[in-house]
Structure 1
Amino acid sequence: MSAASCLLTEDQFLCSICLDVFTDPVTIPCGHNFCKTCITQHWDINVPCQCPNCKTTFYTRPELRVNAFISEMAAQFRQSAQQKASSSSSEQQVSKPGEVPCDVCTGTKLKALKSCLVCLASYCETHLEPHLTAKQLKRHQLIDPVENLEDRMCTKHDKLLELFCKTDQMCVCMLCSILDHKTHDVVPLKKEYEEKKAELGKRDTKIQQMIQKRRLKIEEMKRSVELSKKDADREIAAGVQVFSALKASVERSQAELIDTIKEKQRETEKQAEGFIKELEQEISELEKRSFEVEQLSQSEDHLHLLQIFPSLNAAPPPTKDWTGVSVRPPSYEGTVVRAVNQLEETLSKQMKKAELKRVQQYAVDVTLDPDTAQHKLILSDYGKQVKHGDVKKKLPNNPERFDTCTCVLAKQSFSSGRFYYEVQVKEKTDWDLGVARESINRKGQIKLSPQNGYWTIWLRNENEYKALADTRVCLSLKCRPEKVGVFVDYEEGLVSFYDVDAAALIYSFTGCCFTQKLYRYFGPYLHDRGKNSAPLIISPVNHTE
């Protein structure tokens, strides 16, 4: 029997009325089997008696007797199912808080695998089996387990909410769509679900894009903070170095001031000591003569007094007139002021050197671009020097080339950050230096000004220096620079020019608004019959000590 039962399926021992394994199975005349209680209750309700499966009608109610063979087989399947359920229960997960429990399990509730929208119940793996095997139950709609299945029923008609009214934006049942929403735009729940899901997908894509943008912004800010920290550390190190040098200068000036004052005091003391010594010597001599005079005046020897008196009167002790002699305290007026002024000058030089050193750390390599050079300019082989020549070269008149103005741009461009470079202008009587934006006009006569995209200074006639702002500014320089440093802070909108040897600021363009690439600009100006034949030379940066 056991071997035979293994060849049969559980479907063959399920009552088609209760959909469970037969209990007291009976066979009716048409050959179909049912639980005795199930078929009895069915015939009590439905008259005349019909077979629930094949609809055969029996005008006389058949006598029901238990089928012993099917009863035995059903008992074996029930026992096997219980063992399987027991084994399965041990393997399946027990329902945890927040998880949907099986509605059929008694005692320990197992985790539900599916919920049935027809039965309005949730089932674990074991109790879900009939829905996966029985023909009638296979038509039921299964979904992932959810709680409160009664909420999926229409409270008014007690029917499944399987439609969606787009007009009222609510879920409705079949009767609702006929009675209350007859003229409304009603679609299957699944269709609206797919549309909403697609809409959510688009919304999620947009949200993910927003998240990505913000993550990129976070990375950008982190990079900015990191760069800021590096700049801060660099500035702190430079500041510590500067203030250490300033502190040393102050201490040195203080020591020199103290030494000067002490030296004056020592000279005063030395002078006073000499006078005092001399006075003490005169006092000693006078005291000696006083003693002699006193001794002689007490003598009773008339002859002796008269004989000695002429010698005492003829040779008085050596003395000088001290009336106009005095020791005057030295005047310290102006000593501290002069020391402070000297210190200020030293500090000013230190500050200038510190400022130049600060910008020199942004030094970059610069090479001249021959494709931009005016046709009379002569460039060195390595692109580090440029001067004006007398011979017009045959060069292609490309859009990048200056055709009239004697100038040339560098190959490298910048659109962010800071950069610095130095140019030797020694022995030149005329020159232009600075930066220019990418879109500048390069043809014909050009007026150098920020409005036209140039931030430059120039020298004319050996000693006329000007900053070529929109309104030109005359520059008064203490000495003629031999090397000019150019510093640009793109984000700050700053262009500064320095006399490198004097470590002095020449001029700064501030508040500039840069929106394009910037190129370094060089103008050696005209040859002027050899007077201005020296080249502009891009020099390596030797950091100021």
Structure 2
Amino acid sequence: MSAASCLLTEDQFLCSICLDVFTDPVTIPCGHNFCKTCITQHWNVNVQSQCPNCKEVFNTRPELQVNTFISEMAAQFRQSAQHKASSTSSEQQAAKPGEVPCDVCTGTKLKALKSCLVCLDSYCETHLEPHLTRSGLKRHQLIDPVENLEDRMCMKHDKLLELFCKTDQMCVCMLCTVLYHKNHDVVPLKEEYEGKKAELGKTDAEIQQMIHKRRLKIQEIKHSVELSEEDADREISDGVQVFTALKESIERRMNELLDTIKEKQRKTEKQAEGFIKELEQEISELKKRSTEVEQLSCSEDHLHLLQSFRTLNATPPTKNWTGVRVSPPSYEGTVVRAVNQLEETLSKQMKKLFEVELKRVQQSAVDVTLDPDTAHPYLILSVDGKQVKLGDVKKNLPDNPERFDTCPIVLAKQSFSSGRFYYEVQVKEKTKWDLGVVRESINRKGSITMSPQKGYWTIMLRNENEYEACDDPAVLLSLKSQPEKVGVFVDYEEGLVSFHDVDTAAFIYSFTGCCFTEKLYPYFCPCNNDGGKKSAPLIISPVSHTE
């Protein structure tokens, strides 16, 4: 019996009604087997006595007798299956908290592998087997295990939620479409699923694109940090080099000053020592003569006194010290000359620094052209938008909001709201001019007050050699030479606007600590022509990097 049962498959011991191993199996006239209770209930529900499998109709309900042979085989199979299940369960994992348990397992609930949307149950590996092998169960829809399968049933009609109402944006059953969602746009759940899945795919693509952009931004920020570190290292190196040179120069000048003063003092001391030595020698001679005179004056020998008197009475030869002086050395101007020399060294170092700084800001050069829509009607712009001067005739131009109507001003077409930018303007042969940058929202009509508070960061030339920074308050500038080409540099994030004499690499002025929140535009004002004597234009020049 055991050997024979091993040749039978699991399907042969399952009731096709309850899908479980036979309990009290009976054989009906057509030869098919069922659980006695299952077939009895089936015939009680249906008027006709019909075989559920082959559909054969019996005019008279058959008498049902338990098939002892099949019953014994089923019992043995059940025992074997239970043993197999118990041994398999030890290999399979029990469901952990948060995992979906098998609904069929008794005792220890094993982890479910799949859930059936038809049976509304979840199955472990062992209990899932019928759904994978039996033709009738293979048609059931299996999904990854989920809890609360009853939530997939319509609470009103106890039917599977298999449709989606687009009108009300909710899942419904077949009866819902007839009773509550009539004339609504209803589609199969799978169709809506595919649509929503496509939308999710699009959303995910957008998210991935956002992630990609942010990763690029991270790379950009890291690169900026690397550049900042390089700039910092270079600035530290330059600073250490300059200050080391200054320190060495200061120490050298100080040592030279001390040596000069000490040398003068040594010469004075040496001169004084010579005078003192001569005086001491004369004193010694005079003391000696004094002793001889004293001895002679005490002599009782008349002849000896008279013979020696002529020699001893005369004063020994000495130097006339009346005009001899030891004057302290003059140190007038010694320290001043040393400081002047140090100042020359400092000037040379500063010039080197300015040259380095100019090279650095020139790396941020941009192409700038004048915007005719902002130009005052008296201004004349070149065709290429690189030159501007004041004309004698007012042009008939539309008074658009961007145009200046009182002051002879023009802005550039280009605006900047981040990063760094630099441009150069030739001011040669001009006796008056204004240059700088302005924010977008400045007042362009009527009189204008130029200051950072009003949105202007500019410098100007007045009366040939009077330079002024339009700060608050205004700052008069003392320049060693008249610039012929002015460089304008802006670091938006740093809040810096600086001006440079390009030809001499000299620094002119800086606005620092600025807070920029709007677009910035390069600003140009050629001013008046002094009666036509100084009608040279302002010229935006191409940047030639200094060597």
Q: How does 1:41-60 map to 2 (within 5 A)?
A: 43=40, 50=49, 53=52, 54=55, 56=58, 58=60
Alignment of 1:155-234 (within 5 A): 208=207, 212=211, 218=218, 221-234=221-234
- Following the alignment from structure 1 to structure 2, what is the Cα–Cα distance between the partners of residues 60 and 423? 113
**Judging changes above 3 Å, is the alpha-carbon distance between structure 1 residues 416 and 242 closer, same or farther for their aligned structure 2 residues?**
farther
Where does residue 361 of structure 2 map in the other structure? Answer: 362
How far apart, in 2, do the equivalents of 1:99 and 1:357 lie?
A: 68
Question: What is the distance in 2 between the residues matched to 1:44 and 1:495?
Answer: 95
Query: Following the alignment from structure 2 to structure 1, what is the Cα–Cα distance between the partners of residues 22 and 67?
Result: 14
- The answer for the alignment partner of 2:33 in structure 1 is 34
**Which amino acid letter does the alignment assign opposite residue 496 of structure 1?**
S
SS where residue 280 of structure 1 aligns? helix
3-state secondary structure, aligned to 2:467: strand
**Aligned-pair RMSD on alpha carbons?**
6.6
Name 1:516's counterpart in structure 2: 519
Q: Check whether the contact 1:477–1:506 (CA below 8 A) recurs between aligned residues.
A: no
Q: Report deviation, 1:504.
A: 4.9
Residue of structure 2 in register with 1:127 after alignment: 127
Distance 2:517 2:150 in 1: 67
What is the CA-CA distance between 1:62 and the residue it aligns to?
5.5
CA contact (8 A) 1:425 1:481 kept: no
CA distance in 2, matches of 1:531, 1:113: 92
Query: CA separation in 1, counterparts of 2:140 and 2:390?
Result: 96
What are the Cα deviations for residues 181-209 of structure 1, in whole angstroms up to 9, with x where unaligned?
Answer: x9999xx9x969979x9599599769948
SS in 2 for 1:112: coil
Contact 1:376 1:388 in 2 (8 A): yes
Task: Report Cα offsets for 1:16-38 as digits up to 9, x if no partner.
Answer: 24535778976432x13215xx2
SS of residue paired to 1:491:
coil
Aligned pair in 2 of structure 1 residues 524, 227: CA closer, same or farther (>3 Å)?
farther
Structure 1 residue aligned with 2:314: 314
Give structure 2 stretches of 5+ with no counterpart: 1-7
How far residue 318 of structure 1 moved from its aligned partner, in angstroms, is 0.9
Distance 2:181 2:506 in 1: 84
Q: What is the DSSP-based 3-state SS (H/G/I as helix, E as strand, rest coil) of the residue aligned with 2:362?
A: coil
Aligned to 2:115: 115
How many angstroms apart in 2 are the aligned matches of 1:477 and 1:415? 32
Q: Match of 2:278?
A: 278
Task: State the match for 1:435 in structure 2.
Answer: 436
What are the within-5 Å matches in structure 2 for residues 142-157 of structure 1?
A: 142-146=142-146
Aligned twin of 2:491: 489
Q: CA deviation at 1:253?
A: 3.7
In structure 2, the CA distance between the partners of 1:234 and 1:412, relative to structure 1 (3 Å rule), is farther
Judge which range, 358-367 or 106-115, deviates more.
Answer: 106-115
Q: Indicate the residue corresponding to 1:3 in structure 2.
A: none
Task: Specify the code of the residue in structure 2 equivalent to 1:33.
Answer: H
Q: Which moved more, 1:244-253 or 1:11-20?
A: 11-20
1:139 Cα deviation from its structure 2 partner: 7.2
1:505 equivalenced with 2:502 (yes/no): no
Q: Which amino acid aligns with 2:36?
A: I
* Counterparts of 1:89 and 1:449, CA distance in 2: 89
Q: Residue type of the partner of 1:32?
A: G
Question: Residue in 2 aligned with 1:475?
Answer: 476
Percent identity of equivalent pairs = 53
Whole-angstrom distance in 2 between the partners of 1:387 and 1:135: 90
Task: Classify 1:191/1:377 alpha carbon distance in 2 versus 1 (closer, same or farther; 3 Å).
Answer: closer
1:309 CA displacement: 1.4
Residues paired across the two proteins, number: 499
Correspondence for 1:16:
16
CA contact (8 A) 2:285 2:316 kept: no
Change (3 A) 1:45 1:143: closer
Q: Is the 8 A contact 1:436 1:454 kept in 2?
A: yes
Q: Cα distance, 1:363 vs. partner?
A: 1.2
Post-superposition offset of 1:362 = 1.0
Partners of 1:27 and 1:479 lie apart in 2 by: 121
Tell me which moved more, 256-265 or 141-150: 141-150
Taking structure 1 as reference, are residues 205 and 278 closer, same or farther at Cα in structure 2, changes over 3 Å only? same
The structure-2 alpha-carbon separation of the partners of 1:293 and 1:468, relative to structure 1 and needing over 3 Å to count, comes to same
* 1:318 match: secondary structure: coil
Instruction: Show CA shifts across 1:336-360 (max 9, x none).
Output: 7986798689768856864674454
Task: Check the 8 A contact 2:433/2:527 in 1, yes or no.
Answer: yes
* 2:464 maps to which of 446, 451, 462: 462
Aligned partners of 1:486 and 1:495 also within 8 Å: yes
Mark the CA change 1:191 to 1:106 in structure 2 (over 3 Å): closer, same or farther: closer
User: Structure 1 CA distance, aligned partners of 2:95 and 2:264?
Assistant: 97
Instruction: Describe the superposition over 1:246-285 as per-residue Cα deviations: whole angstroms up to 9, x where unpaired.
Output: 3224323432342243234223312322222221332243
What is the Cα deviation at residue 103 of structure 1?
Answer: 5.6
Report SS of the residue matched to 1:243. Answer: helix
Say which SS state the counterpart of residue 361 (structure 2) adopts: coil
The secondary structure found in structure 2 opposite 1:254 is: helix
Flag the 1:162–1:143 CA change in 2: closer, same or farther, 3 A.
same
Residues 356 and 493 of structure 1, relative CA distance in 2, 3 Å threshold: farther
Letter in 2 for 1:114: K
Contact 2:436 2:457 in 1 (8 A): yes
Structure 1's 311 and 431: CA in aligned 2 closer, same or farther, altered over 3 A? Answer: same
Residues 390-469 of structure 1: matches in 2 within 5 Å? 414-420=416-422, 428=429, 430-436=431-437, 449=450, 455-467=457-469
Q: Distance in 2 between matches of 1:61 and 1:378?
A: 115
Alignment CA distance shift 1:292-1:413 (3 Å): farther
Distance in 2 separating the partners of 1:512 and 1:99: 57
Counterparts in 2 of 1:68-87, with a 5 A limit? none
Gaps of 5+ in 1: 1-7
What's the TM-score once normalised by structure 1's chain length? 0.62
* Aligned-pair CA distance for 1:464: 3.5
How far apart are residue 503 of structure 1 and its match? Answer: 3.7
How many angstroms does 1:244 deviate by? 2.0
CA 1:497 to 1:162, structure 2 compared with 1: closer, same or farther past 3 Å? closer
Any idea what SS the aligned residue of 1:286 has?
A: helix
Distance 1:306 1:529, change over 3 A: farther
Equivalent-residue separation in structure 1 for 2:247 and 2:500 (angstroms): 25
- Look up the equivalent residue of 2:493 and give its one-letter code: E
Deviation at 1:319, TM superposition (A): 3.8
Q: Distance in 1 between matches of 2:214 and 2:368?
A: 41
| Secondary structure of 1:486's aligned partner | strand
Q: Tell me, in whole angstroms, the C-alpha distance in 1 between the residues paired with 2:131 and 2:388.
A: 95
- 8 Å CA contact retained: 2:432, 2:463: no
Q: CA deviation at 1:145?
A: 1.7
Residue of structure 1 in register with 2:261 after alignment: 261
Contact 1:114 1:143 (8 Å CA) reproduced:
yes
TM-score by length of 2: 0.62
SS at match of 2:460: strand
2:436/2:458 contact within 8 Å kept: yes
